[in-house]
Structure 1
């Protein structure tokens, strides 16, 4: 494996975060703080506890997941789309760098930025509500798996997109609604039986439920099911990326 090539691409992508600090870090942190002010103050005064957890603390895992999913997709999709846009992707494909090394470097950089952001949001949350993480290792596992999985998903979107507007199409019209409907700000056990059944078809429910279990030791769904669903989505994304590079889908034309 060409570690020098991986390091070069990885460092280049990470350096872009420093140039877009306001958009990459400050904007999501400010948005999360506003969620705490609006939901924590407005709804927290009416919903005291959910499953024995104060409402302010209950929404922390959902808020972190909301930022993690959107930023992972955004970072990875733009990272691979921009070389396509300016034409430098052909130099990369003709260089002595394997497809695996390209994926590892771009997805690794996007996931790293998302994990850093998730930890910053976690620290910011502690300023608003008292937090206690029951299973820190499981929390880190879900944080890393989710960042890598959705960075791969963003990588797929970046290859598929043929315009900047398409980079925002999937996150805005699909991922963000699924996250809001996936129990970020409420427990799906609060839903009527019919809508709870419908919610179980939302893959984001499993991510948030497993992540919430790592904080409080309780969740709507078993942590094993949540982990299995996350790994299944990761496997699908890996298979899709492998197919794209094997066929040259929107890479060689």
Structure 2
């Protein structure tokens, strides 16, 4: 294992995070505060609770998950796309760094950044609502697993994208809508049939449900199913990245 190479990539990516600290940290905090003002205040005042949980507390896991998905995707996709854009990807491919070591550097940095922002949002939420985490170990597990999984997915998008337009296409047209339709701000049990059944085909439902279970001990689907679906998606992304590097898909052209 070339730990020096992994460390060099990781430190470089984290340095970019420090240079954009305002955009990376302050903006999500302000956005979270606005969500609590609009959803927690305006809508929450009309909804007493959901499954015994106050609406303001109920939306916290969904807000964190929304941020984790978008931040993991954007950080990882930009991290690998920029070397392609500048042409330095060829130096990286010719360096004595394996695919695994490259992933550890880029994906590790992207996941670290999204987890830090997720924890900051969790801290911000405590100023607005009373929050108790029923299963802190599972909360951390879902936090890490989701960040790594969608950082891998973002890495795929960064390799696939041919321009900055395509780089922002998937998060804007796919991830954000799926998150809003995945029970981030409501329970899918509130939906009538057949829409509840249709929602079960949305992979984000399992992420949000499992993460919410770690907070309140209840979710829309069993926590074991949530873990299984997330891990399966992680393995699928890892396999696709391995194929991309093996074939040189949009890397050596």
Normalising by structure 1, report the TM-score: 0.99
State the Cα RMSD in Å: 0.5
Aligned equivalents of 1:74, 1:25: Cα separation in 2? 14
Who is 1:121 aligned against?
121
1:24 CA drift (Å): 1.4
1:189 CA drift (Å): 0.3
Runs (4+) off by over 3 Å: none
Spell out, residue by residue over 1:88-122, the C-alpha distance to the aligned partner (whole angstroms, 9 max, x if none). Answer: 10011111111111111000000000011110000
Spell out, residue by residue over 1:111-144, the C-alpha distance to the aligned partner (whole angstroms, 9 max, x if none). Answer: 0000111100000000100000000000000000
Aligned equivalents of 2:33, 2:193: Cα separation in 1? 33
Q: Secondary structure at the match of 2:97?
A: coil
1:226 and 2:233 are equivalent in the alignment:
no
1:65 CA drift (Å): 0.2
Q: Secondary structure at the match of 1:210?
A: helix
The number of equivalent residue pairs is 253
Who is 1:178 aligned against?
178
1:29 CA drift (Å): 1.6
Spell out, residue by residue over 1:36-88, the C-alpha distance to the aligned partner (whole angstroms, 9 max, x if none). Answer: 11000111011110000000000000000000000000000000000000001
Aligned equivalents of 2:222, 2:99: Cα separation in 1? 36
Spell out, residue by residue over 1:166-194, the C-alpha distance to the aligned partner (whole angstroms, 9 max, x if none). Answer: 11100000000000000010000000021
Stretches of structure 1 that go unaligned for 5 or more consecutive residues are none
Aligned equivalents of 1:87, 1:184: Cα separation in 2? 39
Who is 1:97 aligned against?
97
Aligned equivalents of 1:76, 1:30: Cα separation in 2? 23
Aligned equivalents of 1:160, 1:64: Cα separation in 2? 27
1:165 CA drift (Å): 0.8
Spell out, residue by residue over 1:206-243, the C-alpha distance to the aligned partner (whole angstroms, 9 max, x if none). Answer: 00000000000011111001000000100110110000
Stretches of structure 2 that go unaligned for 5 or more consecutive residues are none
Who is 1:110 aligned against?
110
Who is 1:132 aligned against?
132
Q: Secondary structure at the match of 2:194?
A: helix
Aligned equivalents of 1:248, 1:100: Cα separation in 2? 15
Aligned equivalents of 2:10, 2:144: Cα separation in 1? 17
Who is 1:146 aligned against?
146
1:10 CA drift (Å): 0.2
Who is 1:44 aligned against?
44
1:28 CA drift (Å): 1.4
Aligned equivalents of 1:162, 1:30: Cα separation in 2? 32
Normalising by structure 2, report the TM-score: 0.99
Aligned equivalents of 1:235, 1:29: Cα separation in 2? 32
Aligned equivalents of 1:240, 1:85: Cα separation in 2? 21
1:251 CA drift (Å): 0.5
